[in-house]
Amino acid sequence: MNVSVIISIIIGFLLLFGAFLSLVTAFGLLRLPDVYTRNHAASKAATLGVMSILLGTFLYFYSEHGHFNSKLLLAIVFIFITAPVAGHLISRAAYHSGVKLWDKSVQDDLKHKKEYEEKARS
Amino acid sequence: MLEIIIQITLVCVSLSMLGFLYRVIKGPTTPDRVVALDAIGMGLVAIIALISLILDTFAFLDVILLIGILAFIGTVAFSKFLEKGEIIERERDY
């Protein structure tokens, strides 16, 4: 049980975790009822799954070839920053272009935004 | 052992991309399709990483960063188009 075996076990665990999270994302996109809930599934699980797969790739190239690829680390940081921002933007665009919420959702606070603002002003 | 794990992961990511493709085709509204296309971009990043693991080369790792940037810019542009009707505004109101 030397170091390279342990590192390859860690790589295998990271890859399987990424595969599991991408399957979870696919089930979320297929089964959830609403564009907002689907966006919730897609922008969290896909981000973490891709990040763990990229981290496994980085560890593989660093342990097998001794090749420190900084572009992979940059891609991990970039995906971690931008994927939630993209999810927020598309969800906001969906709300403002009039996509309905799910029938069974109980509360919509953004609908009464103008009333709240006038009440706060007066 | 690691090669089998890589192939299992590749099959799982491909199946999940088929699910995203179903949502792109069927999706009732346009934001559904944009969300699914963004998820397809993420899956494409994962597939490129796994293929560069299989081929045992680090020549394709630039493509990962490139596809991440392109997916983000595409999503931002399309959500701005959906919200305001134009992507680059001509008259700014300041």
ipTM of the complex: 0.88
Give pTM, 2 decimals. 0.87
pLDDT in tens, A66-100: 888 889 999 999 999 999 999 999 999 988 887 77
Query: Among B5, B30, B70, which would you mutate to test the A interface (most chain A Cβ atoms within 10 Å of its Cβ)?
Result: B5
pLDDT digits (tens, 9 = 90+) for B41-57: 999 999 999 999 999 88
A113 CA: distance to closest CA in chain B (Å): 17
Q: What is the DSSP string of chain B?
A: -HHHHHHHHHHHHHHHHHHHHHHHHH-SSHHHHHHHHHHHHHHHHHHHHHHHHHHT-SSSHHHHHHHHHHHHHHHHHHHHHHHHS-SS-SS---
User: Which of A5, A79, A110 is best to mutate for the B interface (most B CBs within 10 A)?
Assistant: A79
